[in-house]
Amino acid sequence: MKRMIGLMFVAICIYAIYFDLSIGTLPKAEKKDMDLGIEYVVVTVQPGDTVLSIIEELGGFPIGVSIEKMIEDFVDLNGIFPEQIQPGKSYKIPVYHKEDF
């Protein structure tokens, strides 16, 4: 009986380790702000970059999104205005897919 319980314990431990390594128990990091639902990427700003130039490099400006909306999304994600970005620091930059609009 003790061997059976020990064997079941070992089997459960092996299964738990396999499950944790293959699927994982922690949620995967997502590129969406959970509160706002805005997809973003984290970008380190280089000298001369602006929020709009970074968005353009990431995929351009979709037709259905205004510049005001892009700025508003940046402020919502980072809590600062685009004029306050500093080279060398990382910021969340909203990403827009053309097929979404």
CATH code of residue 59? 3.10.350.10
Q: Domain for residue 7, yes or no?
A: no
Residue range of the domain that includes 43: 29-100
Secondary structure E strands in the chain: 40-44, 90-94
Q: Domain for residue 22, yes or no?
A: no
| Whole-prediction pTM | 0.61
pLDDT value at position 79?
92
Q: Domain for residue 24, yes or no?
A: no
pLDDT value at position 87?
92
Give the HSE-up count for residue 49: Cα atoms under 13 Å, Cβ half-sphere.
Answer: 19
**How many domains is the chain partitioned into structurally?**
1
- Measured CA to CA, the distance from residue 23 to residue 45 in angstroms comes to 34
DSSP class of 25: S
Averages of pLDDT over each 10 residues, the chain, 101 residues: 90 84 57 65 91 85 84 92 92 77 47
